[in-house]
Homo-oligomer: A and B are copies of this chain.
Amino acid sequence: MSNPLKIGIFDSGIGGLTVARAIEDTLPGFSFVYFGDTAHLPYGEKSARLIRHYASRISHHLLDWGSSVVVVACNSASSNALDAVRDAVGPEVPVIDVISPVVDEVARLALGLDRPIRVGVIGTRATIESGVYQSALSTLGAEVKSRATPLLASAIEEGFADGNVSFALLEAYLGDGHFGDVNAFILGCTHYPLIADSIQSFLSPSTQLLDTPAIVAKAVAAAIHDGRQVVGGEPERQFFVSDLTAAFAAGAKRFFGEDVALSARPIWRDQERNPST
């Protein structure tokens, strides 16, 4: 097969590398191209309209770079821009978001309970205010508690993954017992898995934290279950960002779990400098 399947993955920044990591672990033979829109990060504070615009353009680029599957590895984009991504890539390209597979997982958990499942979800302001988690989970009959925790992603990106800063933030966001009685808890942002243990310590020991990256990776595997496999050669892994700084280069390893060579693809500057393309 001369044109092996390549998985396109994007996020507003480097947090989506947690999803890329899980995809590589689940589908080790496949090539992927990752794009982090660091020029526009964070999406979590932006309007739905702007997020849709960015996601649409990025999806076009992922196709240009050879992707035949697109993973929206960003909750803010999954909750605000999934239609825009689908419009951009057309009906032939499967689009996997980070929300639907987790909602499906909640549905499976709910089957084992004799009363409605209670689910907690935290995320950026854009994600929580979109109401997408709340609406999808309510459709299952789940009782949903949600809260925006806007500074958490930036704190993790800055390396405050444990210690007083993340403790004070979690105390401020979770310390009031709002999520005390939930059965399952969704980390609705790709950064949060890095502080999963600290988050668990603010929840009941019986609350099950859902491992979004692994769940999403399984959904990607299911979407390409038609048997197409890479034939021959090493799989290709590309890591692109729209604005490359030393801090992002240094931070990427924490999210991907091994050294990552980010390279710059300033797709917005190209567009602005050469608007006819």
A68 to B243, CA, bound (A): 32
Interface residue? A256 (CB, 8 A): no
* B-chain residues with CB within 8 Å of residue A154 when the two chains form the complex: 151, 154
- Interfacial residues of chain A within 157-172, with CB under 8 A of chain B in the complex: 158, 160, 163-165, 167-169, 171-172
Of A1-9, A37-45, A58-66, A98-106, which stretch is located at the interface?
Answer: A37-45
B165 lies within 8 A of A50 (CB) = no
Place the interface of chain A in its size category.
35 or more
The digit string for A133-161, where 1 denotes a CB below 8 A from any CB of B, is 00000000000000000110011001010
Distance (Å) between the CB of A264 and the closest chain B CB? 9
* B-chain residues with CB within 8 Å of residue A244 when the two chains form the complex: 47
Q: Can you report 27 A-B residue pairs in the complex whose CB atoms are below 8 A from each other?
A: A38-B45, A38-B46, A39-B46, A39-B50, A45-B248, A46-B245, A49-B269, A50-B266, A50-B269, A53-B269, A53-B272, A125-B245, A129-B246, A150-B247, A151-B151, A151-B155, A151-B158, A151-B160, A151-B165, A154-B154, A160-B172, A164-B172, A165-B168, A165-B169, A167-B168, A272-B272, A275-B275
Which residues of A line the B interface, CB within 8 A?
Answer: 38-41, 45-47, 49-50, 53, 125, 129, 150-151, 154-155, 158, 160, 163-165, 167-169, 171-172, 243-248, 266, 269, 271-272, 275-276
Closest 9 CB pairs of A and B: A275-B275, A164-B168, A168-B168, A165-B168, A151-B158, A154-B154, A50-B243, A47-B243, A47-B245
